[in-house]
Amino acid sequence: MTQFVVRAALSGVIIALIALVARRNAAAGALVASLPLLSILGMIWLWRDTHDPVRMASHVEATFWYVIPSLPMFLVMPWMLRQGHGFAVTLATGCSLTVALYGLTILMAARFGVQL
């Protein structure tokens, strides 16, 4: 349980740091947010817990495939906000788009033999 609390606290600190940096400089906050810090921490903790190279390889590969369908959200959301849509509607649309693209990615990957 202690490991879980430490992991959650560290992840929370990173997210809070991103928000703090973004308040001062949007581009710098975006740069920090774009770093795969949480993915790297997840990989470190998975490796520490399992020492399983096959599981780790599967995890890293799946992370790659799931990043791709999340990218359009980062184009749709600023466009919607600039068009005057509210933040809640914009966020819900961006998340819904991402979930739909995740599903499409899973289906398309399976057609090419990639198991996600």
Residues 83, 114 within the same domain: yes
Give the pLDDT score at 16: 93
**Count of domains forming the chain:** 2
What is the average pLDDT score of the chain? 94
Structure confidence by residue, pLDDT tens digits, 36-55: 988 999 999 999 999 999 99
CA distance 58 to 35: 20
- Report the predicted TM-score, pTM, of the whole model to 2 decimal places: 0.80
State CA 76 to chain mean position distance: 16
Residues 27, 77 within the same domain: no
Residues 41, 3 within the same domain: yes
Give the pLDDT score at 108: 95
| Cα separations in angstroms, 61 against 53, 55, 57 | 12, 10, 6
Q: Is 87 exposed, middle or buried (CB count within 10 Å of its CB: 0-12, 13-18, 19+)?
A: exposed
| Other Cβ atoms within 10 Å of 11 Cβ, number | 15
E strand or H helix at 110: helix 87-111
